[in-house]
A = this chain, B = another copy of it.
Amino acid sequence: MYRTNTCGELRLSDAGREVTLAGWVQRIRKMGGMTFVDLRDRYGITQLVFNSDSDSELIEASNHLGREYVIQVTGKVAERSNKNPNIPTGDIEINVTSLNILNKSEVPPFTIEEDTDGGDDLRMKYRYLDLRRPNIRANLELRHRMAFEIRRYLDSKGFLEVETPVLIKSTPEGARDFVVPSRMNPGQFYALPQSPQTFKQLLMVSGFDRYFQIVKCFRDEDLRADRQPEFTQIDCEMSFVEQEDVLQMFEGLVKHIFKYVKDIDFAEPFPRMTWADAMRLYGSDKPDTRFGMQFVELKDLTEGSGFAVMDDAPYVGAIVAPGCASYTRKQLDKLTDFVKRPQVGAKGMMWVKYEADGSIKSSVGKFFTDEQIMEWLKRGDAKPGDLMLILAGDTMKTRKQLSELRLEMGSQLGFRDPNKFSCLWVIDFPLFEWDDETQRYYAMHHPFTSPNPEDIDKLDSDTGAVRATAYDMVVNGNELGGGSIRIHDSELQDKMFHLLGLSEEEARYKFGFLMNAFKYGAPPHGGLAFGFDRFVSILAGLDSIRDVIAFPKNNSGRDMMIDAPSEIDDSQLDELSIRVDLDEKK
């Protein structure tokens, strides 16, 4: 036995006990004849004292300790004269009587502290040292706790966790599939799942009734900010349910997690917003509802002024930034620059200052009377001291730009507190998306998503207006998860394929084994999937998912620590009946 206690558990009540601890040397301080060592393990830090009264061998040994050395010490717990109220063990120290150096350490390439001096690349290369930092470890402890509580909740609701295969079949639409050559089946490949969608639907056909899985999924796509080639989903499916059943169940899950992991109670049901309202009021299907600043539509009030920017635009929208009438020219210019960035893409920004004294100043003052502008402010419920920011242009594009501006203002005004949580269901997504290039409809979610029953008669007559029985859970402006009620009726499914421009043969080729399964009694079913990495990062108050993943990959899909991917032997390629062919790369 290497230790009697961890470095986080001794208290004043242990004073006088002889204990043995083991851990890493966090810090060494010499004061007079004494040497103080902070000993660290996962559970905390305990102060060790090497006293000048100790035998000389021990003192000599303690002189050779270095940062991150692994040591084992025995000694008596004693009350500290200089207590440290910041740590739970701060009332005691250990008067060391024996020291055993279990392992030495080279000087680490960055400091093992919450605020480290290590840059991103160095931290990723030495991830095993980065993981020693208490904040990174806390993220992974949170991740463990969340996974455990998710399982506890779903188990209590009768869900069965079923492992679905990782080596599956590449789909013809599988441009984003990672593939795996099969040695035993030369020339053939497995694919890694982008999600267990078909398998969970098959489990419903199998009568499993309530399925879930916390499961790795894979996507071989260019990694924009905060994507990982392998990511973890909480994948769920239920039989004999309607949308309301699904929303109730998983709203319960999210509330359970907030309660048992963060001790946050949500007394009220989560608000629900249609996709159409979300776009109209926030310009986004995942609005950050921690703050208001809903869009104010001004088109009708701006008509006919002769100001082309507004007159020629099908859409004029605004937000009201409370208390910002005092913004300087420079601040306003910066906001204009912000919306003109290519990532946002607006041509310009207009503004109205509703001064504290009730007067009005505006960038478009020469086109409108104060009375006209006062109508805008009224519609926006602006108060003296507020600032109205206005964009004009194409409806969907301008809404997205205004959404970016709203989020920027929310950040500037401190409305996006990572310790405040606002949850929302967005419902009634459109079933189809029209693609101008290919001149056809695509499924917004996937081709098994059920239309809203009320809209089924519009499938032919007003295809684009048909709503899906699909829903997203949004937290603080992030899509935490989403799902849908699936089609279980094969006639309706055939109709969907037809509307999506798939011939019977194509449908059979692409979705054959699922369609086949549906012939043998598919129950009504639906479900959803949460992005687990994102779920953890939101609860950890982090913007990025990278630090809630133990060994993440960088934006090129590389693991910097183990240096993967890498080249493999020709003999291995031979065995797999494949060759590398860099020339053919387009």
Contact = CB atoms under 8 A, between A and B. Distances in A.
Interface of A: 1-3, 6, 22-24, 40-43, 68-70, 72, 102-106, 108, 126-129, 131-132, 137, 140-141, 143-144, 147-148, 151, 155, 160-170, 172, 174-175, 177-192, 198-199, 202-203, 205-210, 216, 218, 220, 222-223, 229-230, 232, 240-242, 244-245, 488-489, 513, 517-524, 549-551, 553, 556-559, 561-569, 572, 574-582, 584-586
A163 B69 contact: no
B520 A230 contact: no
26 contacts: A2-B242, A24-B207, A41-B209, A43-B209, A70-B523, A72-B240, A103-B521, A103-B523, A128-B203, A131-B208, A137-B206, A140-B160, A148-B151, A148-B155, A166-B192, A166-B216, A168-B562, A169-B562, A169-B564, A180-B180, A184-B220, A184-B222, A186-B585, A189-B568, A190-B564, A199-B550
Q: Which 9 A-B pairs have the closest CB atoms?
A: A105-B521, A169-B564, A131-B206, A2-B240, A188-B565, A182-B565, A42-B209, A68-B521, A144-B160
Contact of A137 (B105, B166, B207, B557): B207
A101 B143 CA distance: 44
Contact of A572 (B175, B522, B572): B175
Contacts of A561: 513
A522 B550 CA distance: 18
Residue of A105, A203, A566 with most partner-chain B CB within 10 A = A566
Residue of A6, A177, A207, A232 with most partner-chain B CB within 10 A = A207
A541 to B, nearest CB: 20
B207 A131 contact: yes
A577 B578 contact: no
A151 B521 CA distance: 35
Given A40-B207, A164-B550, 9 more contacts: A41-B209, A103-B488, A128-B520, A132-B207, A166-B192, A187-B582, A189-B567, A574-B584, A577-B584
Main SS class of interface, A: loop
Given A203-B131, A586-B574, A559 B165 contact: yes
B524 A230 contact: no
A168 B560 CA distance: 11
Nearest to A199: B551
Nearest to A245: B1
Contact of A168 (B163, B179, B519, B564): B564
Contact of A106 (B127, B245, B519): B519
A328 to B, nearest CB: 45
Contacts of A69: 521
A519 B106 CA distance: 6
Contacts of A230: 165-167
Contact of A187 (B127, B129, B567): B567
Contacts of A202: 127-128
A5 to B, nearest CB: 11
Contacts of A241: 2
Contacts of A174: 568, 572
A520 B190 contact: no
A24 B164 CA distance: 23
Given A22-B240, A580-B187, A179 B181 contact: yes
Nearest to A562: B169
Given A102-B524, A131-B208, A184-B557, A167 B564 contact: yes
Contacts of A199: 550-551
Contacts of A242: 1-2
A42 B208 contact: yes
A559 B199 CA distance: 12
A166 B206 contact: no
Contacts of A576: 179
Contact of A218 (B68, B137, B163, B166): B166
Nearest to A198: B562
Nearest to A136: B206
Contacts of A191: 564, 568
A517 B192 CA distance: 30
Nearest to A202: B128
A185 B144 contact: no
Contacts of A556: 184-185
A38 B285 CA distance: 46
A160 B141 contact: yes
